[in-house]
Structure 1
Amino acid sequence: MRGGSRVVKKAAVVGNPVDHSLSPDIHSFWLNEAGINGIYTKETVKHENFGSFIVNAAKKGYSGLNITVPFKEKAFKLCDVLSETAKELGAVNLIIFENGKIMGDNTDGQGFIDSVIEKIPNLSFKKNNFSILGAGGAAKGIIHALCKNGAKNINIINRDLKKAKDLASSYSGIATPYALSDIEKGLTDASFLINTTTMGMKGGPDSIEINFSEFPKIICFTDIVYNPKTTSLMSDALKSGIKVIGGIGMLVNQAVPAFRAFYGEEPRNLDSLYLVLENKMKVDHND
């Protein structure tokens, strides 16, 4: 029995802060659609309490957890078993409790890939040139996933050139680092531009300005920011006739394997979910 089962399957997103996380909305929607007797909450945990929270979570009835900032690297160190992706990234966003073990995975990068394929089903990662804005954890996950999917040419553009160089060094022959002051060079041959930073996000730093008309090879701009739905960079790209993909797809797609692991079923009605999330963000925006 699903809906009538006495066993409540329990999961949560853990971070600090997590107040504005949409993960509970995503999982609660899918739980309702599938008629599963389950709950999904958000847990704000202090840095000094994170380790004990993870170690004791299974005893408290959690089947698994999503991990968000700033704990992905800490979570990695607490896992008994790690996926190959998690090992390569040194960070975990998904924990499953199984047979007394803490299992760790990282679904961020593939979530991005799946969100792009949703919009451009026949995309060849091998034939496109990618430029990445940022060199943090999100950039690391996305570049890793791009390479796994065949990308051969990636430019990393970052304010701190050393961070860009450090990240590029892991992908020798594929990735080239550029300082933000050299953004024109980093965008010259790009067909795909990806913002992996928080600039333009509601409550986040202001966005840089890009005159997309100066870079005619760019055919698509993707932004991992999902609130607002259309960022200022997305608006600028649209004005130049460039296809844009917002961050809500990555958020939803990285949650798919988590829901499957937590509750043992496939998520349903993704199109309806996107509408629910967009409406929620509109309400929040007007608060």
Structure 2
Amino acid sequence: MDTTNDFGFYLAFQQPNCELLNNVLYQTSRQKLLNSGMTASGTDHCNILMNVFCAFACNDFGVIDSFLPKALSPAKDQFYTQIAFNLLKVLYYKETSLKTDSLQKAQKFLSKKISRWEKYVVLYFVALVNQNSTEASNCLQELCIAYQKMEHTVGKLDNKMAKCFASEIHGLYRFARVIDPELFEKIACPKHHCFWEEFEVWHQKNNFPEGMLFYRRPQALDYMNQLFEAELPTVTLHSPYADKKIIVKDVDQFALKLTENVKNKIKTTTNYVHNA
């Protein structure tokens, strides 16, 4: 299923076609998120944050409830992904009771030696919490610069295509619209060749549509289509090691629930067609 990823972006960039690009973002980000939900990583759910940002770029904000659910307790403050997740919860779920603690942990994290990308992702969420459009705009601009200097690889190969289009930054920018439309109007689009302003103009003209599958497999392989269209399972955590206090994603539970959801969708679709 990975073979469609680069091909989809190639088609969208070659034309260029913003609607196709939106759909490619949807399918590729969904695939990465589903893979991560079923792949053991030795970490909690926060390690999928970059893929969540990609989903935001095609307005697929429903992934938050499944992959960063409200029911899970605040993440530890070891990595920037965990800091960002806690701030995201404050913003998206309106959990004001976590605001002070999350901001304090963010400031403590920012005092460490961290990368430019880590710094400005955290600062961007801090700016959104503080409703500071000027600082948020500056963070997006700095993130474009940081993005260009990051290593983007597919396997062991340098992924030059990724440096041409920073989908994660488009996602961060668009997230502001979901949590505070008035603040979003005040945030400036970054001026950088990895941020496609025409893509944002297209979204505004088309009322920010959510993406959909850009490539559907033939009927004989329809189960693979249903993997993308079935209801998303909710990520859960567990502690699999009796002698260690390590909390990780329950990947087996996620895979079982996804399989169940796909079967239910196929059954519902089959019954609908039969009755019709």
| TM-score, normalising length: structure 2 | 0.27
With a CA cutoff of 8 Å and minimum separation of 6, indicate the structure with the bigger relative contact order: 2
| TM-score, normalising length: structure 1 | 0.26
Q: Which structure's residues are more often strand, by fraction?
A: 1
